[in-house]
Amino acid sequence: MAVETELKPARGSGSGLTPTPPQTPTGPGGMVDWLAALGLTQDPFAADNPPFFDAAGRGQLLEQLLHHCQFSASALVVLGEAGAGKSTLLRELLNHLGSNDAVCCVDVPAIYDAEQVLADVVGDFGLVVPEDAGRGQLLSEIRHFGQTGEEGALALLVVDNAHHLDDQLLAALLSLLQGQDDAVRPLHLVLFGDPSLALRLDAFGIVDVLIHDMVVAPFERDEVAQYLDFCLAQAGYDGEPLFTDVDIDHLWQASKGLPGQLNPLARRHLIEAVTPAPAARRRPLLPLGHALVVTALGAVLLMALFYGEGEPPAPVAGAPQAPAAEVAEAADIAAVKPPAAQPPATAEPPQMRPATPPSPAGTTASRSRDRVADLEPVVPDRELRRLPAPAAGTPGNAAADTPPPRQPPAAAGPDWSADETQLLAQAASAYTLQVLAAGSADSVREFVARQADAAALQVFTTRRAGRDWYVVVHGSFPDAASARRAIAALPQALREAGPWPRSMASVQTEIKEYRRN
């Protein structure tokens, strides 16, 4: 697992980086050596090999993948947007596999040849086939390889960028998982791709193949802060925080919480912070031509004021002039004639305007991000099969040492199902076994109906990546160890689904959050 790092002190709103010292280290060509300036041993935000960040749900995803690869016969599908960190998770998964495991990892380009992809798989598994082998023969060899071999060893086929595969090849890969009930070493299939991959796989409707969907979700704002500290610690930094709260807000919004977009933005921020700003060249306030024009205009105005002071304006040439006698007569009349009486002004009352009511305070929209999820068409919850509570003598509960104490019955919400009400009544400290999670209500209903102990299964609805997600759980146990021991007592069909212990508190939280939203 990746190394846990201690979080740095709380950030302030001021600048996170101290001013650049006069002697900033420089590299070849006079470029600033920003790694040396910050005391870093490596690029913390390198795009080619970013460190695995096991927080923000990534560590839990890795544990689920490892568990299903060992104990589940279902196809595993890891979904996420471009830059969400799927390839980083894939690389960490491969690092945790055993040296005796037969593992093939294929990265599918946007333009590919189907026969060449299958030939790469055959070659990685060390199989020998004729050079002119077609698609059918290559698939047959892979299927045979998955059904033979050393017992206990793992045969794993991992496909990155699986959304580039066409529907025919995708369906052929899923068909490799059929008929493996008696296989000594069953083949496991893990597909990494964008969210559209889940809808395409569900449309195939391949019988007897379960699909576990997992989603690598973008970072929340606080997770961005933790990720930045983690990457800096991996690069040997142990100083004051380099990113302020304002910086983190900007990086989170600009990157949309995707590590692939966050890394180059954070790297550029550090480089700009330690690079001295070039000296600004002083520029004149006005261009020379404009300054000459303004000076000339000012001189003209001064001359006009100087020469025109105390003298009447010169008559305009060609304008008709009034006789001097008429001018004198008009002046005498104006001197003796009293001014005409003006009517008294009527004071108008001031106009009263209604006060403008204050605008209501704005509300801040809360941001919410979904975690591990399946992007499936939304199916109304009422279509789900409502199952009764598990009986006291079911085989799954017999493995528990002592049943956990039950809480007082929870008040049934207006939309809670009977299964959800019973799950909410369990002690939060208890554990259950998650058997299956899918985005299709029909798939979940059909799976439950095929089980011999269907009454012991419970279904609840949550929401992931904007879509409904249906989860099947089994039993209630006092602790995680008891839940793990109970797996051996489950029917074979449930064991093949890859059940894993899950805290009842997390189940109850998801039920309440789904109904609240």
pLDDT at res. 451: 87
Provide the phi-psi class of 200: left if phi over 0, else alpha when psi is between -120 and 50, else beta: alpha
Bridge partners of residue 461, in order along the sequence: 470
Mean pLDDT of 93-106: 88
Percentage of the chain beyond pLDDT 70 is 67
Strongest mean pLDDT among 207-211, 382-386, 457-461: 457-461
Provide the phi-psi class of 175: left if phi over 0, else alpha when psi is between -120 and 50, else beta: alpha
The tens digit of pLDDT for each residue in 154-177 reads 789 999 999 999 998 998 898 888
Q: Within 308-388, where are the H helices?
A: 324-336
Mean pLDDT of 390-402: 44
Q: CA-CA distance, 507 to 420, in Å (whole number)?
A: 9
Q: CA 70, 92, 372 angle in degrees (round to 5)?
A: 75
The tens digit of pLDDT for each residue in 319-348 reads 445 444 444 444 443 443 444 444 444 444
Bridge partners of residue 105, in order along the sequence: 158
Q: CA-CA distance, 381 to 384, in Å (whole number)?
A: 6
pLDDT at res. 333: 39
Least reliable range by pLDDT among 151-155, 255-259, 383-387, 406-410: 383-387
pLDDT at res. 230: 94
pTM above 0.85, yes or no: no
Query: DSSP assignment, residue 227?
Result: H
Longest CA–CA separation in the chain, Å: 134
What phi, psi does 432 have (nearest 5°)? -130, 175
pLDDT at res. 185: 65
Lookup: tokens for 169: 């090849």
The tens digit of pLDDT for each residue in 47-89 reads 888 889 988 889 989 998 988 888 877 889 999 999 999 999 9
Task: Name the amino acid, one letter, at 55.
Answer: A
Residue ranges with strand state E in 380-512: 431-438, 457-464, 467-477, 500-503
pLDDT at res. 405: 54
Domain ranges of the chain: 28-52+220-274, 58-215, 381-516
Lookup: tokens for 393: 């003598």
Architecture in CATH of 381-516:
2-Layer Sandwich (3.30)
Architecture in CATH of 58-215:
3-Layer(aba) Sandwich (3.40)
Greater confidence, 395 or 266? 266
Which residues lie below 8 Å from residue 240, measured CB to CB, with a gap of 6+? 8, 9, 16, 18
Least reliable range by pLDDT among 2-11, 274-283, 364-373: 364-373
Mean pLDDT of the chain: 74
pLDDT at res. 344: 45
